[in-house]
Amino acid sequence: MNQNSSSPNFFEQVYEVTRLIPYGRVTSYGAIARYLGSTQSSRMVGWALNSTKTLPSWVPAHRVVNRQGLLTGKIHFPGSNTMQELLESEGVVIEDNRVKDFEKIFWDPQVALSL
């Protein structure tokens, strides 16, 4: 919004969008970053999600993967493959650390929230 709200809002936006990810769907860091208007801030999206564990509210960070559909962030979850189990729990099939039919279950905030 205003130029002063440089970053705090950015993080909140990430949390908000991530919570809006439907059950059994996934999205990418870049998609969220692009939705926020900062295509190149994809790294910050991941960093923001890292802060989600300190947030009072639960954020389905396991539904966010990189552009390749790889569960790159699973290493940040407790256990070895908590992220994968959570996704499989939602019906998402994981094939070799990668989301199967990634394009099919991909949820683009730019499109979904634009309706």
Partner DNA sequence: ATTTTGACGACGT
Partner DNA sequence: GACGTCGCCAAAA
Strand-pair partners of 65 = 28
39-54: buried (b, 16+ CB within 10 Å) or exposed (e) per residue? eebbebbbebbeebee
100 binds DNA, rule: CB under 7 A: no
82 binds DNA, rule: CB under 7 A: no
The whole-angstrom separation of Cα 47 and Cα 11 is: 9
80 binds DNA, rule: CB under 7 A: no
Q: For DNA, what does the binding mask look like between residues 28 and 67, x meaning CB under 7 A?
A: xxx--xx---xxxxxxxxxxxxxxxx-------x----xx
Binding site for DNA (CB under 7 A): 6-8, 10, 28-30, 33-34, 38-53, 61, 66-68, 72-77, 83
